[in-house]
Amino acid sequence: MYAMLIGGEELAVQATFEVINPATEEVCGQAPDCSRAELELAIAAAAEALPMWRVDMSKRRQVLLDCADALRAHAEDLAEVLTMEQGKPRARALNEIMGSAAWLSYTATLDLPMEVIKDDETSLVEVHRKPIGIVGAITPWNYPVMMAVWKFAPAILAGNTVVLKSSPYTPLATLAMARLLNGIIPPGVVNFLSGGDDLGKWIVAHPQVRKVTFTGSTAAGKHVAAALAPDLKRMTLELGGNDPAIVFSSVNVQETAQKLFTASFENCGQVCVAIKRVYVHESILQPLVDALVQLAEAAVVGDGSDSTTTMGPLNNQAQLERVMSLAEAAKAAGGSVLTGGARLNGKGYFYPPTLVTGLDDSNPLVAEEQFGPILPIVAFTDEGEVVARVNNSSFGLAASVWSADLEQARRVAEALETGTVWINQHL
């Protein structure tokens, strides 16, 4: 039985909702469905914990280190729950848990130094960073444990308290983590909730929540930003990406293909900064496509609990339908599906690694974010052309440039209107 954690107490409620195993389409657990009254309890607990929690940074560091140790000690158990509800292969789920522990340890090393802006005979000006207050954290379903840690660890290190809502698709591993960390994190400092869209709206609109950190779709992020505006709440939004890879003719085709494939299909393509579209110089288009097809056909798609699986299912029915719709639109536009291109038979939201060529930049598969295992590959002829095409997008989360000519790679990277750019690597 999974319970919410409010004020250091596990709260089992009568209202629950089903969580589906994406590999079997069967119910794998029941999660509490938080009511507005129960949210008020969580807000009250966070407010009560705030005055004492904000005082001692050395204590806050130690709490994060102790949380990291707890995750490492129970990583196998948490990974089992994570695979069951999210679908990713067990080894990748274990990596997520261990990575979360690493982030907790790393965050504990960060500092909030006082900065001297001016110190002369006329004046002394200092900057001191203070806690904001209660932080509302809303996490997605692709990396539910990692994203929870990314949100609550820096928030509580800075002296804030947190009310955290997990995705209704993947609440179980987060609630299991909450039970594990209860007693390490003092009561009320992090309150772990589960529920549907209404719960997220209530958190965002609550007058005592002073900042919201949200990871999810661009459409949902716009609604969050609009809801925060009346109170001028601070926000951190990590939304969609349509992340390009630009591959020049000087690369080693086989080595680059392997790296491109991994960065495209990691977590079944359900990564905000995964490669979503590949632009390949026309002179190496065919050999690179051939190498990617070989890798796609060698992938083992199946239940993440099977040790032979290299790629699990999509997490939910809606995301599967999104990928299927994009595939059909690509076919209708004359795109060539080189491998994959259809849902696998049987139970589970399984879709094989799919490669598509022959599309122009206006096709939805190229122009939009697919967030799944279907990758468009398009040709280009020269540097200026491809930079213009890549920048002709409303997305600008991440990108990568692949070239043996590092001067060229850097020049192109600097020309891209993108938040993060990698050279000869991605992710």
Within its chain, how far is the Cα of 390 from the centroid? Answer: 22
Determine the Cα–Cα distance for residues 380 and 382; give it in Å rounded to an integer. Answer: 6
The Cα–Cα gap between 303 and 88 comes to 8
CA angle (224 as vertex; 245, 370 as ends), nearest 5: 30
Residue at 267: amino acid letter: N
Q: Which of 48, 80, 238, 383 is catalytic?
A: 238
**Which candidate in 34, 85, 272, 368 is catalytic?**
272
Backbone dihedral angles phi then psi of residue 46, each to the nearest 5 degrees: -65, -40
- Separation between Cα atoms, residue 235 and residue 220, nearest integer Å: 14
220: nearest Cα among 258, 167, 264: 167
Both tokens assigned to 367: 């122009």
Token pair for 175: 């609630």
- Return the SS3 of 143: coil
For 338, the 3-state DSSP assignment is: strand
Q: Is 268 a catalytic residue?
A: no
Q: Give catalytic status of residue 238 as yes or no.
A: yes
Whole-Å CA distances, 8 to 11, 134, 183, 421:
9, 16, 7, 42
Query: Could you tell me which of 371, 400, 425 has the C-alpha nearest to residue 143?
Result: 371
CA-based nearest residue to 93, from 145, 41, 21? 145
**Pairwise CA distance, residues 48 & 63, whole Å:** 18
Residue 416 to residues 118, 285, 398: CA-CA distances in angstroms?
A: 36, 22, 9
Burial 279-308 (b: 16+ CB within 10 A, else e): bbbeebbeebbebbbebbeebebbbbbeee
Residues annotated as catalytic (active site), given as ranges? 238, 272
